[in-house]
Structure 1
Amino acid sequence: MRRFFDRLSTRLLLSHLAVAVVGAGAAFLVVRLLAPADFARRAGVGAGAGAGSVNAGRGRVLLAAFDAAINQALVIGLVAAVVVAALLAWLMVRRLLRPLDRVRTTTRALAGGDYATRVSVPRELELARLAEDINALGGALQESEARRVRLIGEVAHEMRTPLTVIDGYVEGMIDGVFTPTPARLTAVAEEARVLRRLAEDLSALSRAEEGRLSLAPTAVDLAALVAETAHRLRPQFDDARVHLALAPVPPLTVTVDPDRIGQVVTNLLGNALRACSPGDTVTLGVGVEAGQAVVTVQDTGCGIAPQDLSRVFERFYRVPATATGTRTGTGSGIGLTISRSIARAHGGDVVATSPGAGRGATFRLMLPRR
């Protein structure tokens, strides 16, 4: 890289010198060709005077003296121009390469993992834009690294509880502290299912955030898809004594991946169920707003406080129970994150609204009609 900058500075310096030399040479030729004739015309010295006259001899002396003076002045001017051009070129090259060298240092630091480093923005507009792009790249890399570190900690935290439970049961049964009864083995199996579900959710989240979700879009009736998903989940609502209401709607054709959209509706309904207590109601609706198909999941559960509303789609974020009341059930904490990623992969989105803690919440899945 150092050799590259040396070669670049040399080329820039030589290009400036070449321009100066060419310009000085052109000026030398123009002056040398035009100045003597113009001087002779203005001084009245030329071929019209007698060849042997005193005036003709005096004119030739004047022309010769003028030619000598012009040549000497042009040579001195040419050398001076080249020297000045070389000095100015050197200063300009240094001024140009100094911010480029800072950019090089910053990019090497970013490549080495120092994502907090930034390059100062120079005054030159083009270089300033380059520096701003490098700083934006550094900011994106720093944010990505922060997310990666946070994800590792969050995954470790999510795995710690089921692993602790499994380890405690297995170790207790090995030591003979308690017998491997069906209830204890069921508890171990349940924790293993939690780990498997977490692994599947993490895999789906990784594909979604990397843009590698495999979609198989086809024309489907969204109303029928939502009704089928609600019918499949209704036993869970009945067990929790939460009323699931689905208003009948006419067929609404959309071009989506039915499995992925069914997964989103399942996640939204599961989230609403966990937010509800016995006696609450979850209302599921399908409609069209502003040319988009909209699936609405509205519950009368514990609601979401304003400070938590903007974070419900973050990975592993769970609304604090102290702020919203009791939440039933458990989840991986990334269902809403995956749901939004799937919706956006279809060109839509998932948004959440809530009047506040204890006043229910509404999640809306918006999808383009085509």
Structure 2
Amino acid sequence: MNNVQNQSLWRWICVRILTLAIGSVIAIALCMWLRFNLQNMWIIYHMPPAVKTAFLTLRDRPELDPALFHQIMDERWGIWYSVPSIMSADWIMVGVLVLVIIPFIVVLGLYAARPLSAQFINLATAARAVSRGEFTIRAGLVKNAPIELARFTDDFNTMTLQLARYERELHASHVAMAHELRSPLTAAIGRMQGMLDGVFRLEPQQLEMVMKQLQLLSRLTEDLHLLSLADAGQLTLDHNTLNLAELLQERASWLRPQAQACAMVITVTAATPCRYVGDAFRLGQMFTILMENALRYAAEGGYLNVNICPQRGGYEMTFQDNGPGVPADFLPIMFERFTRAESSRGRHSGGSGLGLSIARAIGVAHGGSLVATLPANGGLLITVHLPPN
């Protein structure tokens, strides 16, 4: 969008209307002036020299001989020239000029309004295509259209880009969701069918394997339900006063056996007691997801440092590991559903790809944000910002 070429809608309309109006008046006045001067020049040119000399003298000072002045006027210009009548030659000339100029005004007005009409047509055509589900359509920007329409067109095209992206993500999410749900369901059905057919013996070990798959299926459905509530803005939070530092320490303690099993050290650092009003269960769930993510993908790094500090009335928490990290182009989609990095961070992944999406949804529900970056010294840094209550 070129702001230099585009004017505001009010100025755009005013400039064109005033240009047509003033231009029409000037054109009529110019034609009347030309008619008057050409007529006078023609008549004076054809006067006898004596009459011409007398008239030029009396034209400037008619009071010297009013009778002679009016005699010359009546003889040369006609006796009706000075009669105040609507049917006079001047009024007839004005009427003719108006009738002649009206078509030009209409044509010029339509031409001047063309950018406005063309821009609305482009938007209407694109909107009709979007209503049919064609989200790849874009509305073209007409040169010299008002700046409001140019901005509206730009916003419309941005909206269609977002709709196209949402459609792709929704399709990919449905495909991934079907795959994730089908895997444990297929495994459970296969195991049960094997026991019914006598391939596997009906024993606690076999039933436990089926139960694990069903539990995984149940967890997936619960995670998807939580994300659906978050997307709809219906995720209910139980706000209470809590200490974020204590909550982080508690989550780290719960995961310490798993960390010790893979030789990883989790360190939580908090300068002062961090009072916050939020949902302790959901925030604890978010912290657990972030720590488990490091345990799952960066255990070979050896440590996970968690720091919390007050910032602008809220709190900033960082989760930094020294694992293999992720590709830089994976960072923008890291918190999307069913995404896994195609790197060493994901080669041992056993998760569903929903954990970080849930963590972000919980952070957003508290008015905060989650951002992933790649530190210069390697590993992955996830920063959680919780705004002031």
**Structure 2: gaps of 5 or more residues:** 1-12, 41-57
Q: Which residues of 2 match residues 136-175 of structure 1 at below 5 A?
A: 136-175=158-197
Worse-matched range after superposition: 346-355 or 123-132: 346-355
Q: Which residue of 2 aligns with 1:366?
A: 385
Worse-matched range after superposition: 170-179 or 58-67: 58-67
| 131 and 298 in structure 1: CA distance in 2 versus 1, 3 angstrom threshold | closer
* Residue 114 of structure 1 pairs with residue 134 of structure 2: yes
Q: Which residues of 2 match residues 64-79 of structure 1 at below 5 A?
A: 64-65=80-81, 68-79=88-99
SS in 2 for 1:363: strand
How far did 1:276 drift?
5.0
* Residue 100 of structure 1 pairs with residue 140 of structure 2: no
How far did 1:165 drift?
0.3
Q: Which residue of 2 aligns with 1:214?
A: 236
| 48 and 339 in structure 1: CA distance in 2 versus 1, 3 angstrom threshold | farther
1:53-78 Cα offsets, whole Å, 9 max, x none, are 45444445647336633123212111
SS in 2 for 1:294: strand
How far did 1:110 drift?
0.6
Counterpart residue identity of residue 293, structure 1 = Y
* Residue 331 of structure 1 pairs with residue 351 of structure 2: yes
The 8 Å contact of residues 194 and 200 in structure 2, kept in 1 or not, is answered as yes
**Structure 1 residue corresponding to 2:326, chosen from 285, 304, 308:** 304
The 8 Å contact of residues 248 and 268 in structure 2, kept in 1 or not, is answered as no
**Structure 1: gaps of 5 or more residues:** 1-11
Counterpart residue identity of residue 263, structure 1 = Q
Counterpart residue identity of residue 356, structure 2 = L
Q: Which residue of 1 aligns with 2:279?
A: 257
**Structure 1 residue corresponding to 2:106, chosen from 86, 100, 108:** 86
Using structure 2 for the length normalisation, give the TM-score.
Answer: 0.73
Q: Hey, what's the Cα distance between the residues in 1 that align with 2:325 and 2:359?
A: 19
Q: Hey, what's the Cα distance between the residues in 1 that align with 2:89 and 2:285?
A: 92
| 327 and 360 in structure 1: CA distance in 2 versus 1, 3 angstrom threshold | farther
Q: Hey, what's the Cα distance between the residues in 1 that align with 2:268 and 2:286?
A: 17
How far did 1:49 drift?
6.6
Matched length: 343
The 8 Å contact of residues 115 and 144 in structure 2, kept in 1 or not, is answered as no
| 72 and 226 in structure 1: CA distance in 2 versus 1, 3 angstrom threshold | same
How far did 1:353 drift?
4.1
1:89-121 Cα offsets, whole Å, 9 max, x none, are 233344532332222111100110011111221
Counterpart residue identity of residue 114, structure 1 = E
Q: Which residues of 2 match residues 307-326 of structure 1 at below 5 A?
A: 307-320=329-342, 323-324=344-345
How far did 1:268 drift?
0.9
Q: Hey, what's the Cα distance between the residues in 2 that align with 1:101 and 1:217?
A: 50
Q: Hey, what's the Cα distance between the residues in 2 that align with 1:270 and 1:55?
A: 112
SS in 2 for 1:65: coil
Q: Hey, what's the Cα distance between the residues in 2 that align with 1:267 and 1:45?
A: 104
SS in 1 for 2:351: coil
* Residue 183 of structure 1 pairs with residue 205 of structure 2: yes
SS in 2 for 1:155: helix
Q: Hey, what's the Cα distance between the residues in 2 that align with 1:228 and 1:341?
A: 22
Q: What is the identity percentage for the equivalent residue pairs of Structure 1 and Structure 2?
A: 29
The 8 Å contact of residues 59 and 69 in structure 2, kept in 1 or not, is answered as no
How far did 1:336 drift?
0.9
Worse-matched range after superposition: 116-125 or 311-320: 311-320
* Residue 200 of structure 1 pairs with residue 216 of structure 2: no
SS in 2 for 1:188: helix
The 8 Å contact of residues 303 and 355 in structure 1, kept in 2 or not, is answered as no
How far did 1:254 drift?
2.2
Counterpart residue identity of residue 336, structure 1 = L
| 354 and 187 in structure 1: CA distance in 2 versus 1, 3 angstrom threshold | farther
How far did 1:190 drift?
1.1
Counterpart residue identity of residue 134, structure 1 = F
Structure showing greater Rg: 2
Q: Hey, what's the Cα distance between the residues in 1 that align with 2:387 and 2:212?
A: 38
Q: Hey, what's the Cα distance between the residues in 1 that align with 2:366 and 2:373?
A: 21
1:27-49 Cα offsets, whole Å, 9 max, x none, are 79xx8xxx9xxx9xx94698997
How far did 1:151 drift?
0.7
| 44 and 110 in structure 1: CA distance in 2 versus 1, 3 angstrom threshold | same
Q: Which residue of 2 aligns with 1:224?
A: 246
How far did 1:79 drift?
0.9
Q: Hey, what's the Cα distance between the residues in 1 that align with 2:341 and 2:237?
A: 30
SS in 2 for 1:323: coil
Q: Hey, what's the Cα distance between the residues in 2 that align with 1:81 and 1:173?
A: 95
| 231 and 323 in structure 1: CA distance in 2 versus 1, 3 angstrom threshold | closer
